[in-house]
Amino acid sequence: MLALDPIPRPIDTLPALGRGDAVAMIDRAGTLDFDGLERMTGEVAAWLAAQGYAPGARVASWLPKTRLACVLPMAAPRAGLVHVPINPMLKRAQVGYILADSGAAALLTQAGRRDTLESGDIPEDCAALLDEDVRGEDRLPPSGGDPDTLAAILYTSGSTGRPKGVMLSHANLWLGAISVAHYLGLTPDDRVLGVLPLSFDYGQNQLFSTWAAGASYAPLDYLTARDVVKAVERVGATTLAGVPPLWVQLLEAEWPDATASLLKRLTNSGGALTAPLVAGLRARFAQADLYPMYGLTEAFRSTYLAPALVAAHPDSVGRAIPFAEVMIVRPDGTQAAAGEPGELVHAGPLVAQGYWRDAERTAQRFRPAPAWSISGGMAVWSGDTAVIDDEGLLRFVGRDDEMIKSAGNRISPTEIEEAVVAGGETVEAVALGVPDPRLGQAIVVVARGDGAREADLRARLRRDLPSFQQPTRYEWRAELPRNANGKLDRAAIKAELTS
């Protein structure tokens, strides 16, 4: 297991952790060893430095998971620049917003993508660079800068309001990689299939934690669950990370027993796993350790549940990951008791530097840690409600801005959603509060399916939930919308219902 070294280093020194001739990356071009990864990082950094941008300038990338896209998160900081990855699923207006908001000096993309942009999408002071032009024989050595220097700006998906650029330092990225590689027990023998966007903190950390452990990373841009199944078989993947909607799709796919048995480790974040999903994953991948996790981009990740505890605590998100201090705080700032709901507050060196050029929202989310905090300093006040039990395990309740206020009751949409999918009448559902003159808000459930078993669902929930938690209406959809990170898009669903 990787040593849990708390000393942060520049993120571009990651390739040095792998054995030189060991495989660092497996892709359509073949394999790239760690010596080759270091060489490519240095060459791309030198090419970027030769463009003449000022130190700290933002360089955005809008690319699929090419080798260049995988190297840029290290190469740009090595050149003294700040990397701004843009999800390849985003469209021109969203790309234009991120370029303007970040003040990007350059956009590195492909010709086909560039040609989808219209006049004004790329700011006048932002250069459009093509991936095919990135070449050169010069090479920059690993940097030795201050680990607290800004290295990346990751934009949230923007499902609630305009996207926010989260500022991450070298130390944030480095310690996140070491923490995850350690608690997952990654080894040089592992092959990690990367299906998550590299613009997503979860996906970028998967890249970094893989290389921190000296393991192999296999990037994959997929269209269907079947593509993921075939890739697991093709590269011999031992580790797969996903979000709940992806697990739903993967459990609906056909898995040859030999292929399923290759996976030794499954990790989940970006939404809580339901009890049926936990049961389905444990049945389909019986030999794999399952790691439910909770995180937020502003602090990267907060908790994980050890695989040995999953069966007994399927609704838990576990305990704090290494380098994180996680607290449950009452509205008055004191520590919540076991079993008492409170706001989840994250302190420690994984806390980001705030939101880019947004002092107002930074002040709302990044505030001094409670006086009784061990870490002290600046903390992320998540806005999420959670509960800690007598064993020190945390359970996510819901986001304050998503809680349903009905007939004087505060109702967690997560609790409703878990109850809805528990009986198998549907596999995906979103619970929302919509204006109601009598109740204040009525509970509406939008679920995937044709509604053929709605009567069964209603009857079961009348048995399982109290009267104030009963949905008043069900809306059935063939598919539910997802955002660019693959998570269910609550904002789009709510906008459709309330428009």
CATH classification at residue 486: 3.30.300.30
Asked whether residue 431 falls in the same domain as residue 290, the answer is no
Half-sphere exposure of 213 (CA within 13 A, CB side): 27
Kindly report the CA angle at 134 between 131 and 139, in degrees rounded to 5? 145
Asked whether residue 412 falls in the same domain as residue 265, the answer is no
Q: Provide CB contacts within 8 A for 146, sequence distance 6+.
A: 170
How many Å apart are CA 118 and CA 96, to the nearest integer?
A: 9
Query: Residue 304, SS3?
Result: strand
- The reply to whether 382 falls in a domain is no
Asked whether residue 178 falls in the same domain as residue 59, the answer is yes
**Of the candidates 110, 106, 105, which has an alpha carbon nearest to the alpha carbon of residue 130?**
110
Asked whether residue 20 falls in the same domain as residue 134, the answer is yes
- The reply to whether 377 falls in a domain is no
Q: Are 388 and 370 in contact (CB under 8 A)?
A: no
Query: Residue 77, SS3?
Result: helix
Asked whether residue 91 falls in the same domain as residue 228, the answer is yes
How many domains does the chain fold into? 2
Per-residue pLDDT of the chain (499 residues; tens, 9 = 90+): 678 888 999 999 999 999 999 999 999 999 999 999 999 999 999 999 999 999 999 999 999 999 999 999 999 999 999 999 999 988 888 899 999 999 999 999 999 999 999 889 999 999 999 999 998 789 999 998 899 999 999 998 643 457 899 999 999 999 999 999 999 999 999 999 999 999 999 999 999 999 999 999 999 999 899 999 999 999 999 999 998 889 989 999 999 999 999 999 999 998 778 888 999 999 999 999 999 999 988 998 999 999 999 999 988 999 999 999 999 999 999 999 999 999 999 999 999 999 999 999 999 999 999 999 999 999 999 999 999 999 999 998 887 778 788 876 778 888 899 899 999 999 999 999 988 877 888 999 999 999 999 999 999 999 888 788 899 999 999 999 988 888 889 888 988 887 7
Asked whether residue 104 falls in the same domain as residue 243, the answer is yes
Q: Are 21 and 35 in contact (CB under 8 A)?
A: yes
Q: How far is CA 485 from CA 69, 164, 449, in A?
A: 17, 15, 22
What DSSP assignment string belongs to 174-218? Answer: HHHHHHHHHHHT--TT-EEEE-S-TTSHHHHHHHHHHHHTT-EEE
Asked whether residue 302 falls in the same domain as residue 412, the answer is no
Asked whether residue 94 falls in the same domain as residue 217, the answer is yes
- The reply to whether 391 falls in a domain is no
Last residue of a domain, one of 308, 340, 375: 308
Asked whether residue 268 falls in the same domain as residue 415, the answer is no
Last residue of a domain, one of 308, 324, 359: 308
- The reply to whether 313 falls in a domain is no
pTM: 0.87
Q: Are 26 and 235 in contact (CB under 8 A)?
A: yes
Asked whether residue 407 falls in the same domain as residue 304, the answer is no
How many Å apart are CA 59 and CA 126, to the nearest integer?
A: 9
CATH of the domain at 77: 3.40.50.12780
What is the enclosing helix (H) or strand (E) of 475? strand 473-477
- The reply to whether 367 falls in a domain is no
Last residue of a domain, one of 265, 288, 308: 308
Domain interval for residue 56: 11-308
Q: Are 333 and 370 in contact (CB under 8 A)?
A: yes
- The reply to whether 289 falls in a domain is yes
Q: How many helices (H) and strands (E) does the chain have?
A: 14, 25
- The reply to whether 339 falls in a domain is no
Asked whether residue 285 falls in the same domain as residue 422, the answer is no
What DSSP assignment string belongs to 238-258? Answer: -EEEE-HHHHHHHHHS---HH
- The reply to whether 326 falls in a domain is no
* Count of C-beta atoms within a 10 Å radius of residue 92: 14
